[in-house]
């Protein structure tokens, strides 16, 4: 049993601890990026780990959210909440369309459909340079302040304040996903992953609940993309490529599928290790690939499985002492 299935306090307590400690043990921008990709990875886990839908097109929803929010904030005059809401709606809408078509196929055909949609959306973003900036990406993105009645404006142009915003949305996203996965809908998604025919035979529409999972995943991916566009004040074309879709899948696998905190750990390790190895050796992807191979071969449950093994070993040693 995963720790987050034992108690919501364990899961959310761990998430709060990550959000509190991250800026003190690493640069602020890296800590913020980890929280943003934590949202992205957790939303992808809703498909991979909970629903059993191995989508390789998640970067499309992330990128669309980033471009929509980035365009709103580059133009100016649009409040922060409205811009992020549009990013969420854009990600959810496109994900709903992609999911409604792709779910009609299973296995490798489903994966190839999601990959193909990702490539189509990438090509549209690449070609529509008047809006997206094309190969150069969308630049000039601002961070609009948050008007708080009676307290003035919360200036998120400062990195520390922007981190606070990212942390609040990070915690809210994880809480929402926890409640969703432990709701009747989450149980139906879990059942459909293991036996879709039996789930359908007792009266549930597997197709509808899986499309809903796609919509929720796309909405949170769009939110993460919108935050990412504001982090570095640019939305690069690479963020919507299939490489980013593969990266977030690796994050989920490294951290542990089917667990709320697992993908967050995976995102942190992926981003930290990528930065560390790139500074160590020019051919760092070789080392990174070796790390992923070892993780997949020996820790199929990812970081969560490793932590569980350590805890069990410590308990056994304590009991034998």
Q: Is residue 251 part of a domain?
A: no
**What is the DSSP annotation of 243-311?**
HHHHHHHHHHHHH-TT-SSHHHHHHHHHHHHHHHHHHH-TTHHHHHHHHHHHHHHH-TTHHHHHHHHHH
Strand partners, 235: 138
Phi, psi of 69, rounded to the nearest 5 degrees: -65, -45
Q: Is residue 297 part of a domain?
A: no
CA count, 13 A, side-chain hemisphere, 270: 28
Q: Which tokens in the block code for residue 117?
A: 């949609």
Q: Which tokens in the block code for residue 211?
A: 């499309």
Output the CA–CA distances (angstroms, integers) from residue 77 to 130, 185, 317, in the order listed: 20, 39, 61
Phi, psi of 227, rounded to the nearest 5 degrees: -65, -40
* pLDDT value of residue 287: 82
- For 106-138, what is each residue's pLDDT tens digit? 889 999 999 999 999 999 999 999 889 999 999
Q: Is residue 175 part of a domain?
A: yes
Q: Assign 2 to helix, strand or coil.
A: coil
Rounded to 10 deg, the angle between the 28-45 and 58-75 helix axes is 130
Q: Is residue 180 part of a domain?
A: yes
Q: Is residue 257 part of a domain?
A: no
* pLDDT value of residue 2: 43
The answer to whether 58 touches 213, Cβ cutoff 8 Å, is: no
Instruction: Please give the Cα distance from 248 to 27 (Å, whole number).
Output: 21
pLDDT string in tens for the chain (321-residue length)? 344 554 566 778 888 999 999 999 989 999 999 999 999 999 999 999 899 999 999 999 999 999 999 999 997 778 999 999 999 999 999 999 999 999 999 889 999 999 999 999 999 999 999 889 999 999 999 999 887 877 778 889 999 999 999 999 999 999 999 999 999 999 999 999 989 899 999 889 999 999 999 999 999 999 999 999 999 999 999 999 998 999 999 999 888 887 888 899 999 999 988 888 877 777 777 887 888 888 778 777 777 777 777 777 677 777 666
Structural domain harbouring 109:
10-241
Q: Is residue 3 part of a domain?
A: no
Output the CA–CA distances (angstroms, integers) from residue 251 to 168, 244, 302, in the order listed: 21, 10, 9
Instruction: Please give the Cα distance from 191 to 6 (Å, whole number).
Output: 19
Q: Is residue 87 part of a domain?
A: yes
Cβ-based neighbours of 155, under 8 Å, separated by 6 or more? 145, 161
Number of domains in the chain: 1
Burial of 117 (0-12, 13-18, 19+ CB in 10 A): buried
pTM for this model (two decimals): 0.91
C-beta neighbour count of 224 within 10 angstroms: 33
Angle at 155 between CA 216 and CA 31, to 5 degrees: 55
Q: Which helix (H) or strand (E) element contains residue 76?
A: none
- For 168-188, what is each residue's pLDDT tens digit? 999 999 999 999 999 999 999
Q: Is residue 268 part of a domain?
A: no
Instruction: Please give the Cα distance from 200 to 211 (Å, whole number).
Output: 15
Q: Which helix (H) or strand (E) element contains residue 316?
A: helix 302-320
């Amino acid at each position: 049993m995963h720790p987050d299935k034992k108690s919501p306090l364990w899961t959310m307590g761990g998430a709060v601890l990550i959000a509190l400690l991250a800026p003190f043990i690493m640069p602020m921008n890296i800590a913020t990026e980890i929280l943003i990709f934590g949202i992205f990875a957790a939303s992808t886990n809703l498909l991979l780990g909970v629903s059993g839908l191995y989508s390789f097109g998640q970067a499309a929803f992330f990128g669309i959210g980033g471009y929509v929010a980035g365009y709103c904030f580059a133009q100016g005059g649009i409040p922060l909440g409205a811009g992020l809401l549009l990013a969420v709606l854009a990600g959810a809408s496109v994900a709903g369309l992609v999911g409604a078509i792709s779910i009609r196929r299973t296995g490798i055909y489903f994966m190839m459909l999601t990959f193909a949609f990702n490539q189509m959306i990438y090509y549209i973003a690449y070609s529509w340079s008047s809006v997206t900036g094309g190969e150069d990406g969308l630049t000039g993105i601002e961070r609009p302040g948050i008007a708080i009645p009676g307290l003035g404006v919360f200036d998120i142009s400062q990195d520390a304040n922007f981190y606070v915003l990212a942390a609040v949305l990070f915690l809210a996203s994880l809480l929402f996903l926890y409640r969703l996965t432990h709701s009747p809908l989450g149980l139906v998604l879990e059942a459909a992953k293991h036996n879709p025919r039996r789930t359908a035979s007792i009266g549930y529409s597997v197709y509808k609940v899986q499309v809903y999972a796609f919509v929720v995943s796309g909405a949170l991916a769009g939110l993460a993309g919108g935050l990412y566009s504001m982090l570095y004040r640019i939305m690069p074309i690479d963020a919507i490529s299939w490489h980013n879709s593969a990266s977030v899948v690796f994050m989920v696998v490294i951290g542990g599928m089917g667990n709320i905190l697992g993908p967050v750990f995976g995102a942190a390790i992926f981003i930290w290790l990528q930065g560390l190895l790139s500074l160590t050796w020019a051919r760092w992807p070789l080392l990174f690939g070796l790390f992923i191979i070892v993780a997949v071969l020996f820790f199929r449950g990812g970081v969560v499985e490793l932590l569980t093994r350590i805890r069990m070993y410590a308990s056994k040693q304590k009991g034998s002492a």
